[in-house]
Amino acid sequence: MADKLVYVLNGPNLNLLGTREPEIYGADTLDDIGNALSDRAAQLGLTIDMRQSNHEGHLIDWMHEARSEGALAVLLNAGALTHTSIALYDAIRAIELPVIEVHLSNPHAREKFRHKSYVSMAAKGTISGFGANSYLLALEAAAAL
């Protein structure tokens, strides 16, 4: 049987990971995280499809695609769109797939404007504050669904 597919979607500015603000976001690049996820996914009998965009509409199109491709789950680090995007909230509700919200940092320990998450309001659950390991923990959660 084909491996179960997990989409891993990353929003604005996450392409800069590993180049700036390592004290907040860690030293790993998004490629490093993708490689670690692929290795763990193979052990779990999963395949990941990891993408990043600075554009809200791309993220929404990819959420729809996850549904049409029959993905098991979506791991979503929507970046700052987490705190603003009703369109992403609607997309999460619409696709009827488990979406696991991921953050490198703990937004609740940061500025007040990061405390609100539209993603949380529709997600299955949230893993935040563990740096790159947040993604791996979220993958474990997806595998256990």
Residue 8's nearest CA partner among 68, 81, 59, 70 is 59
Structural contact between residues 139 and 6, judged by C-beta atoms closer than 8 angstroms = yes
Which of 53, 77 has the CB closer to ligand CA2?
Answer: 77
Which of 17, 122 has the CB closer to ligand CA2?
Answer: 17
Residues in CB range of 61: below 8 A, 6 or more apart: none
The stretch among 44-52, 59-67, 87-95, 97-105 that binds ligand CA2 (CB under 6 A) is 97-105
Tell me if residue 76 falls in helix, strand or coil.
strand
Which of 47, 137 has the CB closer to ligand CA2?
Answer: 137
Q: Is position 53 an interface residue for ligand CA2 (rule: CB under 6 A)?
A: no
Instruction: For CA atoms 31, 33, 35, 38, give the dihedral sign.
Output: negative
Binding site for ligand CA2 (CB under 6 A): 13-14, 16-17, 20-21, 25, 77, 79-80, 82, 103-105, 107, 114
